[in-house]
Amino acid sequence: MKAPLPTLAALVRERTGAAWSRARKLCEEGRVRVDGERCLDPAARFSPDAAVAIDERGPRREAGPLAREAIVFHDRDIVVIDKPAGLLSVADVAGNRETVADHARTLLRRIGKSEDVPLGVVHRLDRDTSGLMVFTRTATAKRTLAAQFKAHDVDRVYLGLALGAVREADIESDLVLDRGDGLRGSHGHFRRSKGPPPADAKRAITHVRPLEMLRGASLVECRLETGRQHQIRIHLAELGHPLVGEEVYIRDYQGPRVTAPRTMLHAHLLGFTQPRTGAPMSWQSEPPADFEQVLSTLRSVKDR
């Protein structure tokens, strides 16, 4: 049996000679990068040969649930955010300000380069989903970008860790609030359809492509044509391959499960045309440390 990969704190300690507490603090303060990307989790595991760069006198990461570097892009029309897992996109109840929208607005005020205005919502990410999302800053931008989403002209690619050996698939279904057992799902999937989809059903299309086979799971790419609530989670579960960390749409799954701190889904690519100028714009975000740690563990287990 292979020894587990070293933690980031262990690699920092080895390279600097610092005490354990100091090594962990350097990670948490944002002064450590792995392969050029800042890593804040001292418990994340990496290969001993990983390119770990440590700047003990570098700028400290700002405290708060949304770091300043989470603002990937902003202009007078839009703001693109690299959302951390565990944070709501927008308020679930009136008065809840612990959201990406509110924290992003606070950060924009600190930057102080443009007018402070409420952020317009044109799409959402689940609380547990990390990655790229966009808000608008003017009514015109909101109308224009919302139209792009409605016309399926926005590029959205997600990376996920799904249970089992996933095969390439194009999934198209009508999503309903209750498929027959109290869960959201595809019309006719849980119970045989006795007629056409109800009027409130939403057409949903997901293109799934496996990228890497792991031990008990697969790294997959999911490209959306539509953006319905829980679309990827539902489609993968109904395909027989729920996401690693899934707790809702896993009722029918009988295979072995993999432990994870959250649902392993990351919004990797976002592209659209700038709502005022029409210029094409696109961004990519690599999965955060918790995703990479689960992926690394599944790779190492596979190689044993």
Alpha carbon distance 157, 208 (integer Å): 10
- Our answer to whether residue 102 is catalytic in this structure is no
- Strand ranges, E, within 62-115: 71-74, 78-83
Give the C-alpha separation, 273 to 224, whole Å: 17
Strands 130-136 and 265-273: parallel
- CA 67 to CA 249: how far, in whole Å? 31
Give how far Cα 147 sits from Cα of 97, 142, 150, 218, 272, Å.
Answer: 27, 8, 5, 34, 11
Q: Please tell me the distance from the alpha carbon of residue 90 to that of residue 123, in angstroms, as a whole number.
A: 10
Instruction: Choose the catalytic residue: 126, 128, 174, 290.
Output: 126
Residues in the chain: 304
Cα torsion through 172, 176, 177, 181, rounded to 10: -90
State how far the Cα of 245 lies from the Cα of 267, in Å rounded to an integer: 16
| Closest by CA position to 218, among listed 239, 241, 238 | 241
Q: What is the CA radius of gyration of the chain?
A: 21
Contacts of 9 (CB under 8 A, 6+ apart): 20, 23, 24, 27, 42, 43
Closest CA to 158 of 92, 248, 220, 96: 220
Nearest by Cα to 148 from 281, 272, 277: 272
∠ CA 124-66-222, nearest 5°, is 40
- Catalytic (active-site) positions: 126
